[in-house]
Structures are given as structure tokens and as C-alpha cells.
């Protein structure tokens, strides 16, 4: 496996810092070389897989609530039907 190296100074240690670019509504993480500070690449500030997991949980809760509501609505419909 190849060891990643800084394109500027060939160092092999990196760190991630938070950054908010000028005129941007979003923050990003930037991977940069510990030795010389050269930026190597950006990373998502919000990891989309975490966001998707949270949305999935919320959707499950909404589905459960709708199921309960549907059951209660059916009981009300049955109670209101004329018996003959």
C-alpha cells in the first residue's frame, strides 16, 4: 500500500481543519500537511451517510406515527358506520 505524501514537501503526516470559505454559506474540512501547511484536499463538513441515517430514523418515526393514526381513524370510521 502506498503511503500518501504531501505534494509540496513529501511529508507523510496530515491533519484536518475546519474552514468557512469567503462568500460561502457552508463550512468545509480541509486536509493539509502538518509540516508545511499545504492543502491536500477538501472533505465534506457534514458526512452525508450520517445525515442519511438521521433522515432514515426520522422517516421511520413518521411512518410509525402514520400507522397509529391510520389505525385510530379506522376505529372512528367503524364507530360511525350505521348498524343495520
Q: Is residue 36 scored above 90 in pLDDT?
A: yes
Same domain, 3 and 40: yes
Q: Which residues, in sequence order, are CB contacts of 17 under 8 Å at separation 6+?
A: 29, 30, 32
Same domain, 6 and 41: yes
Same domain, 39 and 15: yes
Same domain, 52 and 83: yes
pLDDT digits (tens, 9 = 90+) for 16-35: 999 988 998 888 899 999 99
Same domain, 24 and 34: yes
Same domain, 41 and 79: no
Predicted local distance difference test score (pLDDT) of residue 49: 79
pLDDT digits (tens, 9 = 90+) for 37-75: 999 999 887 777 788 889 999 999 999 999 999 999 999
Predicted local distance difference test score (pLDDT) of residue 61: 96
Q: Is residue 3 scored above 80 in pLDDT?
A: yes
Predicted local distance difference test score (pLDDT) of residue 44: 80
Which domain does 27 fall in, by range? 1-45
CA–CA distances in Å: residue 55 to residues 49, 51, 58, 71, 74: 10, 6, 5, 24, 28
Predicted local distance difference test score (pLDDT) of residue 40: 92
Amino acid at each position: 500500500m502506498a503511503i500518501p505524501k504531501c505534494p509540496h514537501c513529501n511529508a507523510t503526516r496530515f491533519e484536518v481543519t475546519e474552514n468557512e470559505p469567503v462568500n460561502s454559506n457552508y463550512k468545509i474540512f480541509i486536509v493539509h500537511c502538518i509540516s508545511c501547511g499545504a492543502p491536500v484536499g477538501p472533505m465534506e463538513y457534514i458526512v452525508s451517510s450520517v445525515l442519511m441515517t438521521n433522515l432514515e430514523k426520522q422517516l421511520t418515526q413518521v411512518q410509525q406515527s402514520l400507522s397509529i393514526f391510520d389505525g385510530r381513524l379506522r376505529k372512528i370510521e367503524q364507530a360511525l358506520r350505521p348498524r343495520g
